[in-house]
Chain A
């Protein structure tokens, strides 16, 4: 049997190559997606378990989520030392750690700062709670001692014992480097480098001398639950107590919510890719079986059992599946490298990089092989059913009679499908509806082929009798016409689905990204001010259009920790994304407030009032005139007050933050100039707005293009199907073609007839796929809108659809080239007298 399999592969090499390409493409895409999503998710989620693995109880600011999600750091409330001592002294607490961070930098001997985005951290003395460990030297435990991470030490060639100048919020400090730290497998805990400080230095330099912590972690000796309960009573207002797991989940969610969305989208793509591969394999093998019917029948006649016939085909599937999967996994990694290269060209970096995990390799190989073997099952069953008598028949003559059961099945499936998509209450029902609808198209395809071909008759009759005969022939065996067209239909359906649903979702994503859209840069001073000098320096940078500084202060609104800002709201709104949900920012006046909706559902309505309390306990009742949507920029501003209200509540303070607008298309030197300016001032950091959004967009665009490319490949493979069917049909009709040529149809017209039939099949497949794709994607978008609060506007990419139609016609012409030549190659006499 193996011998037979190998010789069959050799003889049908072209067709097997097509199948192989399908498997390689499917598995390759799947692998690439797995690798990328792993990297992206890891990098977005961070190594939460490493970082916070031993935390049993965490006391964190109540608004931690909002802060994390929006990326803003509006001086959160801190845990005072007294409360911290109380927490650490609770029964059952084995260890505790206070977290305190602030930006620091070093000044080189040449006066130029380096490690400018480093984070100063209070060194945690509890080894279990400290995510860092010392690799060289000692932990910083005396004043003036610091430890830096391995990466920073390597980059800047810092040695233990070095005397350094540390730039802090409290000014330059002379320090001694006493240790090098590492964070799990990676060098640094913080992206810009970590500088660990002893307790007193940390309070003095990072927090203006106040003994406070951003958050406070506890390690329990016994039951964590008891400690959680006890800690709840000792926790100051504005803080929440979380169990270790809750805390880690929160961190993960806060960092990775986008990653989850991305992961789902990527996995959907990957599954789609494998499904397309499966369809193509199924189709190719069906054609192979149909073409080899005679060979199979001869085998059956000389004594091959149905089992053996089936097994020979399955073996072929297995061989091809394995080979294709191996190549596919390799192709997948290459695809990832390509993506990395493309991203590098646009100045981006693939988040997380490429990790070679054996799990991806194994699942790619496994899925590819299994799907190939599964796709071969039905064709193999057909092969097993081959009767010896079929060897004697000139060709299997299919009846044009389609049977009532098929019509009923198709209609029932279509009705169920539409019902599922229109009325389904969950993703599962809607998905099943879509599948049922597509299945109904496949089952009903012979009818559609017949109706479609007849509808096309008036058009084709314009080409003369050959057009008419082309239509007649495709109608003569609607099942075969439909099977051939179906191969194309699948491809075009998926291309349309990705084009329409993809375009709709991409537009939605762009809209979402626009929500993340923000001022080009935000410069923030931690502990200092953004003074007019600095603003004018910034404005002098090439390509900087505008700089708007504003004042900001931590407050509580109706008891919840929050931030308020005041400044030239009109100017701020011009360059930043201050999205207003309700009301109008222009209504801001003395005694009013624009409240930030933090998404917890507690945002007051326009017309209501809120009580704002500042850090000294002074309060004011303000009328809500607008509700701000949470965006990256409103995360920076928090709620916005009119200047007069701000002054009377907080006092006349200097601006501590500014939005920066740069000309679109500004070059990297603008970025460098802004960062250089910020580097001169240790208290000031410049954040680039919306970098992640841009990155996501690039990745999505690439994926949509990659999927479309893959699907187009399946369309090309469908082309091979048309070639096969047309060749078969010509072989069957050789007498008829001979007769036509004898009584006066020129060879040119015979070839045109074959071409017209091929174009007709291609058009039926293309049109069918496109209409099905349009219907399904529009219904999917509608049901998605119905089920969620999203409002995705279906966008139909007409240009692409027209291009696909043109492609369909071209494919038809292309597919006809070979069969058309074959149709007139035979001498007329041989044609008419042949067996």
Chain B
């Protein structure tokens, strides 16, 4: 079966073409990705869903330059990342990508402000102060900028991670279960920030999740099973996503 390659009006911020990722060899080979072709359009919020072992995290990691494909290609904009060496990949991530993880997002010895500015500090560039202020205000961290991660709640830490991803205005933000370790109220807050970033400033976000509620904040949901895209859904709601999920399990 092939995945839908519908031509969209917007150009792709990232894409994967015939992406394969195989662990092991011969009989014992496990295909984490079994030939995935997908576009992640600019200024859109895409969610990737699927059961454990479906390859959803692998897909994101390969597109984000954290892992390498066994075959096929992955692009960030027009850059074929399979042709980049380790250092070039690192610099690409630093300059063009943002990341939000489930946990361990922050450097414990740096304050909230320093953590937010870390990608820019690494690049040796200065933040746009007005933009920084606006994001900090949006995520509500004005009073917490001087605190160390250990002095922040889990939700506050995740807001710092969101702000860190947003401040450098990356081409695309990859989020891996960003609400997985949070209670539902705090999780909803984080998802609203991400939604607003797409709506208000045209940010592109790709999020891996198993939570239908989280997926409902996306423009589009991709469903993965056994290393392949099996379905997709535009303008999802929690209930529709949940229904679709039930069909997998059934």
Contact = CB atoms under 8 A, between A and B. Distances in A.
B28 interface: no
B109 A829 contact: no
Interface string A456-500: 000000001100010011011000000000000000000000000
A747 B109 contact: no
Nearest to A472: B109
Contacts of B110: 469, 472
Interface in B138-160: none
Interface string B86-115: 110011011100010100111111100000
A160 B67 CA distance: 100
Interface in B50-66: 61, 66
A607 to B, nearest CB: 76
Contacts of A745: 90, 94, 122
A741 B104 contact: no
B70 interface: no
Interface centre among A744, A749, A827, A832 (most CB of B within 10 A): A744
Interface stretch (A86-94, A428-436, A627-635, A732-740): A732-740
B17 interface: no
Contacts of A475: 109
Nearest to A738: B104
B35 interface: no
A473 B106 CA distance: 14
Contact of B118 (A735, A743, A749): A743
Contact of A829 (B66, B91, B118, B122): B66
A744 B104 contact: no
A827 B90 CA distance: 12
Given A472-B109, A736-B107, A742 B67 contact: no
A744 B66 contact: no
Given A476-B108, A735-B104, A748 B66 contact: no
Contacts of B121: 464-465
Nearest to B174: A742
Interface centre among A469, A740, A743, A746 (most CB of B within 10 A): A743
A832 B90 contact: no
A736 B104 contact: yes
B119 interface: yes
A828 interface: yes
A748 B87 CA distance: 9
Contacts of A464: 121, 124
A743 B104 contact: no
Contact of B123 (A469, A744, A827): A744
A745 B107 CA distance: 12
B180 to A, nearest CB: 13
Contacts of A829: 61, 66-67
A-side binding surface: helix, strand, loop or mixed?
helix
Given A748-B87, A829-B67, A743 B94 contact: yes
B60 to A, nearest CB: 11
A467 to B, nearest CB: 12
Interface string A809-835: 000000000000000000111001000
A744 B91 contact: yes
B90 A741 contact: yes
A832 B101 CA distance: 9
A744 B109 contact: no
A744 B122 contact: yes
Interface string B212-248: 0000000000000000000000000000000000000
A473 B108 CA distance: 9
A739 B104 contact: yes
Contacts of A469: 107, 109-110
B213 to A, nearest CB: 24
Contacts of B109: 469, 472-473, 475-476
A472 B122 CA distance: 16
A736 B122 contact: no
A464 B118 CA distance: 11
B118 A465 contact: yes
Contact of B66 (A472, A742, A746, A747): A742
B119 A744 contact: yes
Contact of B87 (A473, A476, A739, A747): A747
Contacts of A472: 109-110
Contacts of A735: 104
Contacts of A747: 86-87, 90
Interface string A712-746: 00000000000000000000000110011111111
Interface in A410-439: none
A746 B87 contact: yes
Contacts of B124: 464
12 contacts: A464-B121, A464-B124, A465-B121, A476-B108, A736-B104, A739-B101, A743-B118, A746-B87, A748-B87, A828-B66, A829-B66, A829-B67
Closest 3 CB pairs of A and B: A744-B94, A472-B109, A744-B122
Given A748-B87, A832-B104, 15 more contacts: A465-B118, A465-B121, A469-B107, A739-B106, A740-B107, A741-B90, A743-B119, A744-B90, A744-B123, A746-B90, A746-B91, A747-B86, A747-B90, A829-B66, A832-B101
